[in-house]
Amino acid sequence: MAIATICIAICVTAVQARTCQDPPKTQTEKAGQEKPKTTTNTDGQNTADQEATPPINLGMRLVDLNVKVADISGRGVADLKKENFSVFEDGVKQTITYFEPVSAPITLVLMLDFSGSTEQKSILIKQAAGHFIDTLKPNDRIAVVAFTAKFKLVSDFSNDHVHLKKQIGKIKNGQGTALYDAVWRVYDMLSTDKQPGRKAIVLMTDGVDESIESPELFPGEHPYEQLLNRAAEENASIYPIYVDTEEEEVKLRVNAMHKTYETARLRLAQLAEQTGGLAFKAYDPDHLVGQEEDLGIVFNSGAALATIGSLAVKNEAVFVQWLQQYGADRFLLGADVKEEKIAVGGWLETTTIWVYDFIEKYIEKGVQQIFCTDVSKDGLLQGPSVDLYREIMDRFPSLHFIASGGVSSTQDLEVLQKIGCKGVIVGKAIYEGRIKLEDLVKL
Angle at alpha carbon of residue 165, lines to 161 and 167, rounded to 5°: 120
In a domain, 67, yes or no: yes
Tell me how many degrees the CA angle 254-349-332 measures, rounded to the nearest 5: 95
The set of residues, in sequence order, having a beta carbon less than 8 Å from that of 3 and lying 6+ positions away, is 426, 430, 437, 440
Report yes or no on 371 lying in a domain: yes
Query: Which residue blocks in 47-121 are alpha helix, DSSP H?
Result: 47-52
Better-scored residue on pLDDT, 81 or 102: 81
d(CA 82, CA 423): 39
pLDDT in tens, 191-249: 999 888 788 999 999 999 999 988 888 888 999 999 999 998 898 989 898 888 887 78
Write the CATH number for 257.
3.40.50.410
Residue 191 shares a structural domain with residue 241: yes
Query: Which among 281, 304, 320 is the end of a domain?
Result: 281
Is residue 218 in a domain?
A: yes
* 98 and 194 co-located in one domain: no
Domain closes at, from 68, 86, 102 = 102
Residues of the domain holding 13:
1-18+52-102
pLDDT in tens, 116-135: 889 888 888 898 888 788 87
In a domain, 26, yes or no: no
423: domain CATH number is: 3.20.20.70
In one letter, which amino acid is 222?
H
Task: State the total domains in the chain.
Answer: 3
* pLDDT tens column, 8-56: 333 444 333 333 333 333 333 333 444 444 444 444 444 444 444 455 4
Residue 28: inside a domain: no
Among 310, 337, 308, smallest CA distance to 405 is for 337
Same domain, 301 and 276: no
Residue 25 lies in a domain: no
Instruction: Say if residue 142 is in the same domain as residue 199.
Output: yes
Span 375-421, pLDDT tens digits: 878 767 889 999 999 999 999 999 999 999 889 999 999 999 999 99
Q: Which of 25-29, 341-345, 365-369, 425-429 shows the lowest mean pLDDT across its residues?
A: 25-29
pLDDT at 154: 97
Would residue 35 count as lying in a domain? no
User: Based on the domain organization, do 267 and 322 belong to the same domain?
Assistant: no
Give yes or no: residues 241 and 147 share one domain. yes
